[in-house]
Amino acid sequence: MQNQAQLRHQEVLNLLETMSSSESASSTSKVYFGSYTSSTSISMLPAEPKIFYGRDSELEDILKLFNQETPRIAILGAGGMGKTSLARTVLHHEQIITKYQGNRFFIACDTASNKVELAGLIGAHLGMKPGKDLTQAVLWHFAEAPPSLLILDNFETPWEPFESRKEIEEFLSLLADITSLVLLVTMRGAERPSKVQWTRPFLSPLGPLSQEAARKMFIEIADDRHSMEEVDQVLHLTDNMPLSISLLAHLVDMENCSTILSHWEREKTSLISEGFDRRSNLELSISLSLSSPRITSMPHSQDLLALLSILPDGLSDVELKQSKFPIQDILGCKAALLRTALAYSDDHKRLKVLVPVREYMGRCSPPTDPIITPLLAHFHELLELYMTAMGKESGVFPIARITSNYTNIQNILRRGLQLEHSDLAKSIYCTCDFNSFSRLTGHGSTVLMEDIKHLLPSLHDHRLKTYFILELFYSFTYHPISHLEMLITQALDHFKRFAEPELECMFSIILHTLDTNSA
């Protein structure tokens, strides 16, 4: 046992030395802000919308603002109003292409929850190496770059939470202060971030399309073989909101107007009781999609949609197969969601759901624990594999898989960290391993560790508590630990109640490392 402990001690010292070298390299990368091209970054501009009607006046107003020096523009509106489509049309306008050439960047912000994650997302599109915080590197890059256009799509995702709003607005303000950078954001709602001097005249929040534009959009999707009277009846259900039109038009294309209208007759009572407003119309279009025969013939497709509603990163086909979900013919369910436009496949072939649909499902039909549990087990296996393969060449595979599910894992763990949850212990172990992955890959410690602190007093698993304390000690380099002596005393007390030499060895090594750092 002593020989094994000595060997483990040497392995940890070698790992710490490797990590130290890595941190040094990472620090160097954070101050590098040389020229990046599209070939060295992950940035890929989205395609220009193929179906785009009813926004000519808004497009003209935006292009006029570009005649001013480095405008700051916010495209606002309710969910499903076509804010992203308008931004993409601006991105591909001939005037914009000529002026900014290869310095156009389109960043989807719906996976960022704070300033560090947003800066990391932008840095990845610029081709920067990962770092603990790329905020300054991103600012330096744009300050030194030629005139550039930066579009931040779905910016409300990192901005809306009160706990992160201040730092997000400060970062956005610093970006807006760069005289060579044009800033354009799309945001759900009607409120602009207050710390930016937005270019006047302000754009009014996007409203519903005109009837003529709504008809053109509908016919472009569903063809012109339908009675215009029935088309107008279907459009009446959408309140001429672009997302609703798209969902219903795709259903009509596969079915017909009469069938869709008969579905509405059966569904409208419960929906009207919540109010016949824009939000109700959006929910109505989603409800009608869910009542399509292509969905009802695959009843488990709604279970898959509910699961996807809490997974912003989506799922790959491999994950759909390997996670062992209790969903029959899961690939058939995927096909049903794609056919009804309730889900889509992104450039990386990951199955995702639009934000409005995710919100609807999360409120009206959230996923059940039996469906979520297999995914928790799958992520736990990935993280255990990472911990085992850490520092070895075989560790590259789990790193890629975990990174592509970073936000998914956070959401699953947040649900699992509830005192009454049946897999609470597994969720805590998984959170500790995820925190280890997060700090070692430059993301820093996760806020989920704070959630565990409130749960521990109610638990009686001494090994679990010790495992958590050890991970806190490992995170000491990133976030100084308060009550360090008290935690050491608690760990020593826990070790008296169970025997596991490997954990005791790790604890001794950590204490030695902390003493060395303090000295």
State the DSSP string of 54-100.
Answer: S-HHHHHHHHHHTTSSS-EEEEEESTTSSHHHHHHHHHT-HHHHHHH
The CATH code of the domain at 296-367 is: 1.10.10
Residue type, 192: R
Strand partners, 151: 106, 184
Secondary structure class of 346 (helix, strand, coil): coil
∠ Cα 154 156 159 (to 5°): 135
CATH 3.40.50.300 fits 56-188, yes or no: yes
DSSP state of 146: S
pLDDT of residue 258: 87
Q: What percentage of the chain has pLDDT greater than the value 70?
A: 81
pLDDT of 202: 94
The pLDDT value recorded for residue 361 is 85
Tens digit of pLDDT for each residue in 191-201?
889 899 999 99
Q: What is the DSSP string of 436-483?
A: HHHHHTTS---THHHHHHHHGGG---HHHHHHHHHHHHHGGGTSPPTT
Output the six-digit token pair for 374. 């297999």
| Nearest residue to 176 via CA among 145, 152, 159, 198 | 198
Token pair 């969910």 is at which residue? 79
With a cut of 90, say whether residue 81 has pLDDT above it. no
Per-residue pLDDT of 432-457, as tens digits, reads: 999 989 888 888 888 888 888 888 88
Return the axis-axis angle of helices 448-455 and 462-474, rounded to nearest 10°: 150
State the residue for tokens 């956070």.
Answer: 410
Lowest mean pLDDT among 12-26, 175-189, 378-392: 12-26
State how far the Cα of 473 lies from the Cα of 480, in Å rounded to an integer.
9
- Assess contact for 83 and 76: CB atoms under 8 A: yes
Taking CA atoms, 227 is separated from 246, 257, 503, in Å, by 18, 8, 73
Range of weakest confidence among 89-103, 220-234, 265-279, 416-430? 265-279
- For residues 417 and 396, the answer to whether their CB atoms sit within 8 Å is no
Q: What is the pLDDT of residue 279?
A: 37
How buried is 462 (Cβ within 10 angstroms: 0-12 exposed, 13-18 middle, 19+ buried)? middle
Q: Which two tokens stand for residue 486?
A: 């008290």
Q: Quick check: 315 pLDDT over 90?
A: yes
Cα–Cα distance between 36 and 30 in angstroms, integer?
A: 14
Residues 115-133 pLDDT 10s: 999 999 999 999 898 888 9
Beta-bridged to residue 149, according to DSSP, are 104, 182
**Which three-class secondary structure state does DSSP give residue 329?**
coil
Domain residue ranges of the chain, discontinuous segments joined by +: 56-188, 211-291, 296-367, 375-518
